[in-house]
Structure 1
């Protein structure tokens, strides 16, 4: 079978590997769509938040078809369409455990969730990033149609926040400099997009919120400057959720605003415990996330897919696809 491997030294290549064997509690899966995440690029560069070893097969955003099951597997059968969680105890699928960027790969039955019939393979491979945005809206404490939410950053996670917030009825404003990402944000339900690099950003937010500021702020860019601005665009008693990740960088922030505005803020990582809820939300709300996918490559050209992510910052989400069968 063909598999994309990161082999060290910033090198990604598609290699021919044996189809893996499965244990009694495992499932053999045929990849159908696999997304590339910024954390995959960090992995390629030799950086990740937990230990791992090269060579490794990446791929933690995926949809797949069951092609073989172990003897003790009861809930799944051949032909079932599934997606799977990536944080597995102390291990991370696609990082410390080889992932889905292969024609065939192995997962435990307990990691998997059935993909609803009305969601495509492409939408299935977007469940993982969307689950993070959806989880952010849950952590915003009863986000609903009474809220004005500002989303700072319209990358894949931020766009997931936009889609979930809009479907929950909130009025959504997005701060994003990219014209294409702004267009997708509006398509997903944002009412306005502002340029976070403009000198009149705070005035523009005040204008759009009637001077009140946002009742909910989602920081989804991971930029320290945006993390600081979140305090400034927040209204009185606003809830702030930090979704974007940055480790070690610094930016000046007006911390006194926490007290003067009586702000609440929390940081989140991933989407623990909400995958079944996320899948139900996507299926019943009819959110179509497919416009996030801006390029698609056959899995056999996975190295070109990685190169596209590295070379073209305009890409939102690049997918790799396979139709391999046993």
Structure 2
């Protein structure tokens, strides 16, 4: 079988490997669509946030089809379309243990969720990033049509937040300087796209909300200076959720706003415990995330896929496709 491997820092190869064998409590999955994430680039560059070793097969945003089950497996059968969580106890699938960027890979049933028939394999490979955006909205609490949700950053996570908030009925506003990503935000449900380089964001938010501000703010850029902007743009009593990660970053902020505005601020990492809800939400709300996938490559062109993923001016999300991926 063919697999994309990171064999050393900044070294990508497509290798021919043996199809793995499964134990009694495991399943063999044929990959169908695998997304490339910014975290994969960090892994390739040797600076991922948890310990790992090369060589490693990446791939934590994926969909696939079960082709073999172990003798002790009862919840799944060959032919089941599945997606899988990536944080498994102390292991991170696709980081500390090899992931899904191969024609076949091994998984444990406890990681897996069946993909609803209404969702394509491409949709399935977007469940992981969308689950992070959905989790942010859940943490914000009771997001509904009474809310104005301002989302800082229209990357894959921010765009998922936008799609989710719009599906919940909220007035949704994106803060994004890149025109292409702003257009994707509009297609996914943003009523307005604000350019943070045009004027202070808080001023723009105040103008479009009649001076009230955002009742929900989701920070999805991972830039500490933007967290400071989020406090400024928030309404009195707003809920602020920080999704983007910048470990060790520092920026000046008007921290007194937390008290004077009576803000609720939450941080989060990943999407623990919300995958079943995420899949039901995507199915019932008819969330269409196709706009996120801007390039697709077969595994044989993995190096090109990595290069395309690094080109964030041209691409939002790049997928590797295997077999009947869509």
TM-score, normalised with respect to structure 1: 0.98
Counterpart Cα distance in 2 of 1:191 and 1:53: 44
**CA positional deviation for 1:249:** 1.5
Task: Tell me, yes or no, if structure 1 residue 173 matches structure 2 residue 173.
Answer: yes
**CA positional deviation for 1:92:** 0.3
Moved more, 70-79 or 201-210: 201-210
The 3 A distance-change label for structure 1 pair 150 and 324 is closer
* Number of aligned positions between the proteins: 325
* Residue matched to 1:84: 84
Question: Is the partner of 1:128 in helix, strand or coil?
Answer: helix
Q: Is the 8 A contact 1:132 1:157 kept in 2?
A: yes
Task: Tell me, yes or no, if structure 1 residue 226 matches structure 2 residue 205.
Answer: no
Alignment of 1:49-198 (within 5 A): 49-198=49-198
The 3 A distance-change label for structure 1 pair 265 and 312 is closer
* Residue matched to 1:12: 12
**CA positional deviation for 1:21:** 0.6
The 3 A distance-change label for structure 1 pair 23 and 324 is farther
**Which ranges in structure 1 are unaligned for 5 or more consecutive residues?**
none
Cα offsets for 1:254-297 (capped at 9, x unmatched): 11111111111010110010100000000111111011000000
**CA positional deviation for 1:198:** 2.0
**CA positional deviation for 1:324:** 8.1
Counterpart Cα distance in 2 of 1:265 and 1:324: 43
Moved more, 221-230 or 196-205: 196-205
Question: Is the partner of 2:319 in helix, strand or coil?
Answer: strand
* Residue matched to 1:251: 251
The 3 A distance-change label for structure 1 pair 200 and 231 is closer
Q: Is the 8 A contact 2:201 2:229 kept in 1?
A: no
Task: Tell me, yes or no, if structure 1 residue 217 matches structure 2 residue 217.
Answer: yes
Task: Tell me, yes or no, if structure 1 residue 35 matches structure 2 residue 35.
Answer: yes
**CA positional deviation for 1:203:** 2.1
Cα offsets for 1:62-89 (capped at 9, x unmatched): 0001011100010111111000000000
**CA positional deviation for 1:312:** 4.7
The 3 A distance-change label for structure 1 pair 310 and 12 is same
Question: Is the partner of 2:140 in helix, strand or coil?
Answer: coil
Counterpart Cα distance in 2 of 1:174 and 1:312: 18
Counterpart Cα distance in 1 of 2:138 and 2:38: 23
Counterpart Cα distance in 2 of 1:200 and 1:78: 54
Cα offsets for 1:183-240 (capped at 9, x unmatched): 1111111100001122343222111111000011000011111111000000101100
Cα offsets for 1:141-190 (capped at 9, x unmatched): 11111111100000000001001111111101110011111111111111
Q: Is the 8 A contact 1:156 1:316 kept in 2?
A: yes
Question: Is the partner of 1:42 in helix, strand or coil?
Answer: helix
Question: Is the partner of 1:139 in helix, strand or coil?
Answer: helix
Counterpart Cα distance in 1 of 2:8 and 2:248: 24
* Residue matched to 2:263: 263
Counterpart Cα distance in 2 of 1:9 and 1:141: 41
Q: Is the 8 A contact 1:103 1:324 kept in 2?
A: no
Alignment of 1:280-295 (within 5 A): 280-295=280-295
Q: Is the 8 A contact 1:241 1:267 kept in 2?
A: yes
**CA positional deviation for 1:251:** 1.1
Q: Is the 8 A contact 1:235 1:261 kept in 2?
A: yes
Counterpart Cα distance in 2 of 1:191 and 1:145: 13
